[in-house]
């Protein structure tokens, strides 16, 4: 008697087998993302600590090569970092403080002017009710970035407490990673099987290099874009130059989305504070700078650190924001870039020899 399964076409058997595998993989991925989201208060400080460790490791390594003890070198590196950041924040806050109160009203006035133009003078048939609905939806999406894991909007006290706790945890982890990171990496490599150790070491080195390339590239591009926007706003006679330069620099750490958002806000500021002609000039400069950065500077500055398709970058930003809010929006792209380089380096290591 023939086996019942023999009547099933071979392609259907393969499709069924792959379907079950995809279902299992999907369940595992969803469960992993859910766990990460629930543990965001710990996961995000760990990621920030890794970033800080990569930034400060050259300083700590230089001190160790000059016969400083690892613990002292790590502590000195952290103290220098905190002093530098504190000094920069002081300068930025002082330059922005005088104009901070006018940022909100300026953006509101610019939005109202654009709304009036769209309703009354634009060639598009758009009602004011439609624009109001879009603005309300945008406000809801922005509020969602500040949602907690249970979906409730964080109050100010809770947000400050979580930021303080996360910052302290990130600094403590950074100290231990600076002091013991190399030993931890070697310990992890030794735990692997003999045939996998070289691949794992190559994967860790690739991830470390990719993270350095991303941080260096984002910083340089942020400086270039901020200087270009700041000079343009000054030449056209616009206000809020310092806040817009800070916002443009920070936007460089969110590829694609950050630069576009910073450019739009700069155009709105120029529209209200300097007029329509100034806004057009700022828009043209912002567009040209972004194109030059994307086509010429970014490939050279980033090198191999951010060879990701724009669709992958966009999905990473949106997915990170949906899962972890504002922190996920900023950290998603470098995490994906580091993970992709680590996986590629591991796979290129050849077949293991057990």
Is residue 100 scored above 80 in pLDDT? no
Number of residues that this document lists for the chain: 354
Is residue 81 scored above 70 in pLDDT? yes
Is residue 122 scored above 60 in pLDDT? yes
Is residue 125 scored above 70 in pLDDT? no
Of residues 74 and 294, more confidently modeled: 74
Q: Look at residues 279, 229, 273, 271 and name the one whose alpha carbon lies nearest to residue 249.
A: 229
* Domain extents in the chain: 195-354
Q: Look at residues 231, 239, 227 and name the one whose alpha carbon lies nearest to residue 268.
A: 239
Name every residue whose Cβ is closer than 8 Å to that of residue 228 and which is 6 or more positions away in sequence.
Answer: 285, 289
Q: Classify residue 348 by its DSSP letter.
A: T
Stretch 188-209: mean pLDDT, rounded? 82
258/317 Cα distance (integer angstroms): 10
Confidence bin at 351 (pLDDT 50/70/90)? very low
Is residue 341 scored above 50 in pLDDT? yes
Over residues 46-75, the pLDDT tens digits come to 888 999 999 899 989 899 888 899 889 999
Stretch 13-24: mean pLDDT, rounded? 76
Q: Tell me how many degrees the CA angle 16-21-24 measures, rounded to the nearest 5.
A: 125
Burial 116-138 (b: 16+ CB within 10 A, else e): eebbeeeeeeeeeeebeeeeeee
Confidence bin at 147 (pLDDT 50/70/90)? low
Stretch 91-115: mean pLDDT, rounded? 67
Question: For all residues of the chain together, what is the average pLDDT?
Answer: 78
Q: Look at residues 198, 268, 10 and name the one whose alpha carbon lies nearest to residue 260.
A: 268
Question: Looking at the DSSP assignment, which residues form a beta bridge with residue 147?
Answer: 153
285/238 Cα distance (integer angstroms): 14
Confidence bin at 353 (pLDDT 50/70/90)? very low
Is residue 354 scored above 50 in pLDDT? no
Which tokens go with 88? 């920069």
The residue written with tokens 């293991």 in the block is: 352
Stretch 236-257: mean pLDDT, rounded? 83
Backbone angles phi, psi at 127, to 5 degrees: -85, 155
Confidence bin at 175 (pLDDT 50/70/90)? very high
Stretch 195-207: mean pLDDT, rounded? 83
Over residues 303-324, the pLDDT tens digits come to 666 667 777 777 888 788 777 7
Is residue 148 scored above 80 in pLDDT? no
Residue 173, pLDDT score? 92
Residue 143, pLDDT score? 62
346/95 Cα distance (integer angstroms): 47
Is residue 1 scored above 80 in pLDDT? no
Is residue 151 scored above 60 in pLDDT? no
240/100 Cα distance (integer angstroms): 8
Pick from 14-18, 49-53, 235-239, 340-344: least confident: 14-18
Count of H helices and E strands in the chain? 11, 0
Is residue 180 scored above 60 in pLDDT? yes
Stretch 213-232: mean pLDDT, rounded? 88
Residue 157, pLDDT score? 66
280/268 Cα distance (integer angstroms): 10
Note whether 199 and 346 are within 8 A (CB): yes
Residue 205: how many CB atoms within 10 A of its CB? Answer: 14
Is residue 8 scored above 60 in pLDDT? no
Residue 352, pLDDT score? 40
């Amino acid at each position: 008697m023939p086996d019942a399964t023999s009547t099933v076409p071979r392609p259907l058997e393969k499709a069924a087998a792959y379907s079950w595998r995809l279902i299992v993989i999907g369940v595992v991925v969803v469960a992993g993302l859910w766990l990460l989201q629930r543990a965001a208060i710990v996961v995000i400080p760990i990621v920030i600590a890794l970033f800080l460790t990569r930034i400060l490791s050259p300083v700590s390594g230089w001190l160790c090569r000059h016969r400083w003890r690892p613990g002292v070198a790590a502590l000195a590196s952290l103290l220098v970092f905190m002093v530098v950041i504190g000094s920069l924040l002081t300068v930025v806050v002082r330059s922005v403080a005088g104009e901070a109160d006018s940022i909100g009203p300026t953006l509101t006035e610019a939005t109202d002017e654009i709304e009036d133009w769209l309703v009354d003078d634009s060639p598009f048939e758009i009602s004011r009710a439609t624009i109001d609905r879009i603005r309300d939806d945008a406000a809801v999406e922005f509020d969602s970035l500040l949602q907690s894991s249970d979906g409730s909007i964080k109050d100010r006290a809770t947000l400050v407490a979580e930021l303080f706790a996360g910052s302290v945890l990130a600094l403590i982890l950074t100290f231990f990673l600076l002091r013991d990171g190399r030993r931890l990496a070697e310990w992890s490599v030794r735990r692997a099987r003999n045939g996998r150790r070289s691949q794992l070491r190559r994967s860790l080195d690739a991830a470390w290099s990719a993270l350095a390339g991303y941080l260096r590239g984002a910083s340089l591009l942020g400086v270039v874009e901020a200087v270009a926007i700041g000079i343009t706003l000054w030449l056209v006679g616009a206000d809020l130059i310092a806040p817009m330069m800070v916002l443009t620099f920070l936007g460089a750490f969110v590829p694609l989305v950050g630069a576009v958002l910073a450019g739009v806000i700069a155009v709105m500021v120029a529209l209200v504070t300097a007029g329509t002609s100034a806004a057009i000039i700022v828009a043209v400069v912002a567009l040209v700078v972004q194109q030059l950065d994307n086509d010429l500077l970014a490939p050279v500055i980033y090198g191999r650190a951010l060879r990701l398709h724009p669709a992958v970058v966009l999905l990473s930003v949106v997915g990170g924001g949906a899962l972890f809010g504002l922190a996920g929006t900023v950290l998603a792209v470098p995490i994906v870039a580091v993970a992709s380089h680590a996986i590629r380096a591991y796979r290129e290591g050849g077949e293991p020899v057990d």
